[in-house]
């Protein structure tokens, strides 16, 4: 139903181990769960301007990208810079059982929340069987 992927995560981890630096910002942890007839996905994006968040879907691949800017002036001497800044993205593969045409997105308190409805054809339904003197319902 929902798969996540980041093909460069392992490369970034190895680069960080070898060079002691982070090759690109990795600040987009995610939680996902199904409740009722929808899948809910939360992305942590603290300090990100909601105007910098982009959501794109192509062939059931959802790409979330955002930018966290350095909060100080560009000419300031950086004493500590532990919070990642720059442009970063995350891809999530949405299964065919989800209705990608009706995704709802909201951003509150540094958390981007997506609500993806389950497609009508993927919902369980009852089928009546007729024949003989009795009718029976089967759940599919």
pLDDT tens per residue across span 70-82: 888 989 888 887 7
The answer to whether 3 and 93 are in contact (CB under 8 A) is yes
DSSP symbols for 44-103: E-TT--GGG-EEEEETTEEEEEEEE--SS-TTSPPS---S--EEEEEEEEEPTTB-GGG-
CATH number for the segment(s) 2-139: 2.60.40.790
Query: Does pLDDT of 112 surpass 90?
Result: yes
User: And the tokens for 16?
Assistant: 């960080």
Rounded alpha-carbon distances, angstroms, from residue 104 to 11, 31, 42, 55:
32, 16, 12, 11
The answer to whether 88 and 27 are in contact (CB under 8 A) is yes
Structure confidence at residue 122 (pLDDT): 62
Task: Give the tens place of pLDDT for each residue, 10-57.
Answer: 666 566 555 554 444 456 889 999 998 999 999 999 989 999 999 999
The answer to whether 2 and 92 are in contact (CB under 8 A) is yes
Q: Highest-confidence range of 3-12, 108-117, 126-135, by mean pLDDT? A: 108-117
Q: How many whole angstroms separate alpha carbon 140 and alpha carbon 119?
A: 15
Least confident range of 5-9, 61-65, 85-89, 116-120 = 5-9
Handedness of CA 38, 39, 43, 44 (dihedral sign): positive
Q: Which residues neighbour 130 within 8 Å (Cβ) at sequence distance 6 or greater? A: none
DSSP-derived 3-state class of residue 117: strand
Sequence ranges of the domains in the chain = 2-139
Q: How many whole angstroms separate alpha carbon 119 and alpha carbon 100?
A: 8
Between 86 and 31, where is the model more confident?
31
């Amino acid at each position: 139903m929902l798969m996540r992927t980041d093909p460069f995560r392992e490369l970034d981890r190895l680069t960080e181990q070898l060079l002691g630096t982070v090759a690109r910002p990795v600040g987009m942890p995610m939680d996902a769960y199904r409740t009722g007839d929808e899948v809910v996905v939360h992305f942590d994006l603290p300090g990100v301007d909601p105007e910098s968040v982009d959501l794109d879907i192509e062939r059931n691949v959802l790409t979330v990208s955002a930018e966290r800017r350095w909060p100080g002036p560009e000419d300031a001497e950086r004493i500590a810079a532990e919070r990642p800044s720059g442009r970063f993205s995350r891809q999530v593969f949405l299964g065919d059982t989800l209705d990608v045409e009706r995704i709802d997105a909201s951003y509150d308190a540094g958390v981007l929340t997506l609500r993806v409805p389950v497609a009508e054809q993927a919902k369980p339904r009852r089928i009546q069987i007729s024949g003989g003197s009795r009718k029976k319902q089967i759940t599919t």
